[in-house]
Each structure stands twice: as structure tokens, then as C-alpha cells.
């Protein structure tokens, strides 16, 4: 290409026409280039493709191309240490004509990060905060408790995805069982890669081939595929070495069972040092969890900082000038031991209440 043409391309890029008001891209540069009377008069052969313009801009450092980041390998724990948990929507099931339109049938999947094996998988048509919690409890009773479970910010798991409140019933349930919930950042499915990869395989190797149309056909197809995935399908995960997960790891890891007696307030100790911001209402109160706390009516409308002391089971309330205003005991604690099923029923009752609030906000704000 003639140097004069290159010079003109860079000039249009660096000093676009005033009325344009933006940095021109290859299409715009090509337009103005062909409109230049001086170039036409001399008879230069002008580029006809935007790709040519793009190459010139790249060569002369007018287009920035960030370096491809090197993905850090995901930690490979031992089998049974960490699970990934998520729902998979069976989109081949048609919507009801006068009822439910989305998520007609979903599959709750648990995938072990150490072996890539599917720990458990159960389709249902009624997963909400309560039914999901009961199903997870059933799976834990069957398989035992891992050290941690990784999950996304589905409202059924975390209540409010903003995490500006006390942990949801599901998260408290896990903490009280001694399981560390690792909640992924928003819009980052790559942070829960093992279960997401399994969902992709299930979609293209089973769901779009068998096309289940209801809960029963989904259960049949899912049961066959889980067995195929665990025992017959070669898995290219680093830990599997191109072998089926259950062939590579034939023995189930020995996991601690669900405790028979639970401290329902154990979750609070993990919150020590957590802070929350609240604006006091006209009565001088703020809400945290499902409880309302009174601070001082004279401070109504002001923002306060709430520091959680999980060991002493109290909230330290600070004003905007960083002065301690009040110390409040945390409300709603049980202060006694419970057996597992009693505690599960308590958490399910709270999950129903939390889910109704989430649904109410969704309906109100669309």
C-alpha cells in the first residue's frame, strides 16, 4: 500500500471529522477514505476491505489487543473434599399453556471436584428454597459431608445475591453442619467449573438427543446418563486421565456423617468482623436478618455501620463519626442444641419465609 494511503488512514483515525464525535473504526475510515478528493485525483488504488484498514491500525498501534491471560489451573483436591452444586434447566420440557413458563423441570447436581464424578443428581419440577434445602439434606444424609461446597448466587441458595444481609437459611444450614459454602462471584460460572462442564456434557450428549418432555422421561434419561458418565464415558479431566471417574476412583471417599446433634447458632461465629451498613428509619431502627433493632430516634435518617461480634453474640453500632453508639444482642438465636431433623425443619420454615420475600421483590421490580 502506498505510504500516502497509510498516512491518510492514520490521520482519519487520529483526527476524525469534527462532526463525527467519536474515534472512527475501519468501516468509518473506509468511508471517509473513498470520499477524499485529493486521493481520487492522484489516482491511488484505495483499499476496498475493512480488514485492510484493521491491519494498518493494528500495525501502527492504533488498536489495542490485550495479551491472552494464562488460565491458572483449578485446584484438584482429594475426592470428597469439595463438591460443586448447581441446577440444570431441562429446556426440552415444554411450558404449561396457562401456568408455569420457565424451569419446568430442573436437575439438582452435585459433582465431586477431586474425581469429577457425579455424586448425586435428582430432577424435580418444584425446586424452591425449601424443597432444594430438603433435597440437599437428603443427599448429605446419603453420602456424608464434604469439607466445602461451591455454589452460585441462585436466590434459592443465597436469598439475596447482594450478600448485604445475614447468611440465608441454606448457607447457615451448611455452616452449622461444618461445611464451608464457597459462593461464586456474580456472573462467573467459570468459578464453578466442574458442575458447569458436566451440565454442558449432559445437554449435548443426552438432553438434546433424547429430548425429554416431562419429569418422568427426564428422570429416566438422567439416570442412564449419570451411570454412563460415571462408569463408561472417558473423562479428560487431569485427575481421571481419560478414564471414567468411577473406574479411576472406584472407592467412595469416607466422609463424616451428618451430625445427630447440631448447634443452630454455630454459623454466627463465622461472621465475627463482618460489617453491614444500614440507614435508620424514622423511628431510629434498622433491620438485619428478619429482626428489627432500635438504636436511637434522634439519629433517624443517618447511616450507621454495624460490626458483628459473633463470639459475644452482639452487634456494635457505629455512627458516621465512627463513635460507638450502641451495643445490641443479636436476636433470633436458638441458644440450645437440636437434633438434625428438628433443625432441618426450622431452616426449611425460614427458607419459605425468605423465598417469599425474594419472590415479592421479583414481582415488584420485574
What pLDDT does 92 receive? Answer: 93
Query: Is residue 102 located within the same domain as residue 195?
Result: yes
User: How far apart, in Å, are the Cα atoms of 351 and each of 138, 156, 158, 177, 204?
Assistant: 16, 8, 10, 17, 34
Q: Measured between alpha carbons, how far is 139 from 313 in angstroms, rounded to an integer?
A: 31
Give Cα separations from 266 to 80, 274, 336, 344 (angstroms).
23, 15, 11, 14
What is this structure's pTM?
A: 0.77
For residues 76 and 314, give the distance between their C-alpha atoms in angstroms, rounded to a whole number. 38
The answer to whether residue 162 sits within a structural domain is: no
Instruction: Report if residue 342 sits inside a domain.
Output: no
Quick one: 239 and 212 in the same domain? yes
Same domain, 224 and 310: no
Q: What angle do CA 75, 80, 81 make, to 5 degrees?
A: 45
Strand-pair category, 148-151 with 180-183: parallel
Is 350 contained in some domain? no
Domain co-membership, 237 together with 272: no
The rounded distance, in Å, linking the Cα atoms of 53 and 57 is 6
Per-state percent for the chain, helix, strand, coil, to nearest 5: 40, 20, 45
The structural domain count of the chain equals 3
Domain identity same for 237 and 142: yes
Q: In this structure, what CATH number is given to the domain that contains residue 277?
A: 2.30.30
Report if residue 233 sits inside a domain: yes
pLDDT per 10-residue tile (average), the chain, 366 residues: 88 84 86 83 83 91 73 78 96 80 88 96 94 97 96 88 79 96 90 94 93 95 96 89 92 94 94 92 92 94 94 93 92 94 95 77 52
Asked if residues 121 and 222 have their Cβ atoms less than 8 Å apart, the reply is: yes
Instruction: Looking at the structure, tell me whether residues 270 and 321 fall in a common domain.
Output: yes
pLDDT at residue 365, rounded to an integer: 46
Q: What is the pLDDT of residue 244?
A: 93
Cell of 253: 471417599
27 lies in the same domain as 118: no
The answer to whether residue 366 sits within a structural domain is: no
Distance CA(65)–CA(120), nearest Å, equals: 43
Cβ-contact 96, 115 below 8 angstroms: no
Residue 345 lies in a domain: no
C-alpha cell at 351: 427458607
Last residue of a domain, which of 44, 59, 74? 59
Distances (CA, A) of 293 to 66, 164, 278, 316: 50, 16, 11, 12
Q: Which residues pair with 134 in a beta bridge?
A: none
Same domain, 91 and 48: no
Query: Is residue 161 in a domain?
Result: no
Distance CA 351, CA 196 (A): 25
Judgement on whether residues 131 and 235 belong to the same structural domain of the protein: yes
The three cell numbers locating residue 182: 464457597
191 and 287 share one domain: no
Residue 164 inside a domain? The answer is no
- Give the H/E segment covering residue 222: helix 215-231
Query: Which range marks the domain in which residue 42 is found?
Result: 3-59
Is residue 126 located within the same domain as residue 21? Answer: no
Within this chain, do residues 127 and 227 fall inside the same structural domain, yes or no?
Answer: yes
* Backbone φ and ψ of 97, nearest 5°: -60, -40
Half-sphere exposure of 1 (CA within 13 A, CB side): 15
Q: Domain of 98: which CATH number?
A: 3.30.420
Residues 148, 119: contact at Cβ < 8 Å?
no
Query: What's the pLDDT at 187?
Result: 85
Count CB-CB contacts under 10 A for residue 51. 10
Amino acid at each position: 500500500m502506498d505510504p500516502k494511503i497509510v498516512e491518510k488512514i492514520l490521520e482519519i483515525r487520529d483526527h476524525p471529522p469534527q462532526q463525527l464525535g467519536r474515534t472512527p473504526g475501519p468501516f468509518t475510515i473506509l468511508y471517509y477514505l473513498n470520499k477524499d478528493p485529493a486521493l481520487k485525483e492522484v489516482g491511488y488504488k484505495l483499499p476496498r476491505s475493512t480488514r485492510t484498514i484493521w491491519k494498518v491500525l493494528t500495525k501502527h498501534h492504533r488498536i489495542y489487543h490485550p495479551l491472552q491471560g494464562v488460565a491458572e489451573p483449578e485446584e484438584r483436591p482429594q475426592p470428597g473434599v469439595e463438591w460443586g452444586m448447581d441446577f440444570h434447566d431441562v429446556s426440552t420440557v415444554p411450558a404449561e399453556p396457562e401456568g408455569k413458563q420457565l424451569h419446568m423441570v430442573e436437575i439438582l447436581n452435585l459433582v465431586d471436584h477431586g474425581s469429577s464424578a457425579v455424586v448425586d443428581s435428582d430432577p424435580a419440577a418444584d425446586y424452591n428454597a425449601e424443597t432444594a434445602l430438603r433435597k440437599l439434606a437428603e443427599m448429605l444424609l446419603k453420602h456424608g459431608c464434604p469439607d466445602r461446597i461451591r455454589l452460585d448466587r441462585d436466590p434459592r441458595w443465597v436469598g439475596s445475591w447482594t450478600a448485604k444481609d445475614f447468611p440465608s437459611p441454606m448457607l447457615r444450614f451448611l455452616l452449622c453442619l461444618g461445611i464451608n459454602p464457597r459462593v461464586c462471584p456474580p456472573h462467573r460460572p467459570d468459578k464453578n467449573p466442574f458442575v458447569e462442564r458436566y451440565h454442558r456434557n449432559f445437554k449435548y450428549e443426552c438432553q438434546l438427543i433424547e429430548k425429554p418432555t416431562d419429569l418422568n422421561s427426564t428422570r429416566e434419561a438422567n439416570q442412564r446418563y449419570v451411570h454412563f458418565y460415571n462408569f463408561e464415558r472417558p473423562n479428560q479431566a487431569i485427575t481421571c486421565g481419560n478414564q471414567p471417574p468411577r473406574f479411576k476412583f472406584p472407592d467412595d471417599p469416607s466422609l463424616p456423617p451428618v451430625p445427630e446433634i447440631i448447634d443452630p447458632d454455630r454459623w454466627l461465629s463465622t461472621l465475627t468482623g463482618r460489617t453491614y451498613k444500614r440507614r435508620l428509619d424514622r423511628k431510629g431502627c434498622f433491620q438485619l436478618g428478619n429482626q428489627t433493632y432500635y438504636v436511637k430516634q434522634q439519629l433517624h435518617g443517618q447511616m450507621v455501620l454495624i460490626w458483628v461480634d459473633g463470639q459475644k453474640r452482639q452487634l456494635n453500632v457505629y455512627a458516621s463519626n465512627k463513635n460507638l453508639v450502641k451495643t445490641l444482642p443479636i436476636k433470633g438465636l436458638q441458644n440450645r442444641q437440636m437434633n438434625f431433623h428438628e433443625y432441618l425443619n426450622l431452616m426449611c420454615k425460614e427458607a419459605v419465609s425468605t423465598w417469599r420475600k425474594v419472590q415479592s421483590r421479583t414481582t415488584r421490580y420485574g
